[in-house]
Amino acid sequence: MSTYQDSETAYAVFGELFNILVADQNFNDKLAAAGLTVRLVHTKPDCVIFVGPGSVRLGADAPEDAAVTIKMSCDTAHKLWLGTLLMPAAVALGKVRIKGKVAKVLELVPILQPAFDRYPALADGVVK
């Protein structure tokens, strides 16, 4: 059974997570300085999120084109944001697929650190 019961729940939690980040000027400045946009494609259930400086777009509104595209299941995303699965291990095990330049991916990871701090409270009581 999936951590997320349906796409609506996944969009609610992950959408809120990235809206919180985009509300932080420091986060936006770092994305802009690095020229980073990210498309997160989650499966089981489906949930697509596009994050750019000052912008979070969900579902059909999420552009196809991004500097980095990360594809994984919602279960994998849940474990990553909780910190119980590390990105290098997830990539090595084939649980995460990344499309984009390695340098951009390496710039992205430290920028996303605040997400790891905020996710547990957002997911608590919402996911299984």
Domain range annotation of the chain: 7-122
Tens-binned pLDDT, residue by residue, of the chain (128 aa): 689 999 999 999 999 999 999 999 999 999 999 999 999 999 999 999 999 999 999 999 999 999 999 999 999 999 999 999 998 899 999 999 999 988 888 888 889 889 999 999 999 988 86
Calpha distance 61→52 (Å, rounded): 13
Short-list 33, 43, 29, CA closest to 78 = 43
Question: Is 31 within 8 Å of 52 (Cβ atoms)?
Answer: yes
Q: 7-122, superfamily in CATH? A: SCP2 sterol-binding domain (3.30.1050.10)
The residue type of 30 is: K
Q: What is the pTM assigned to this prediction?
A: 0.93
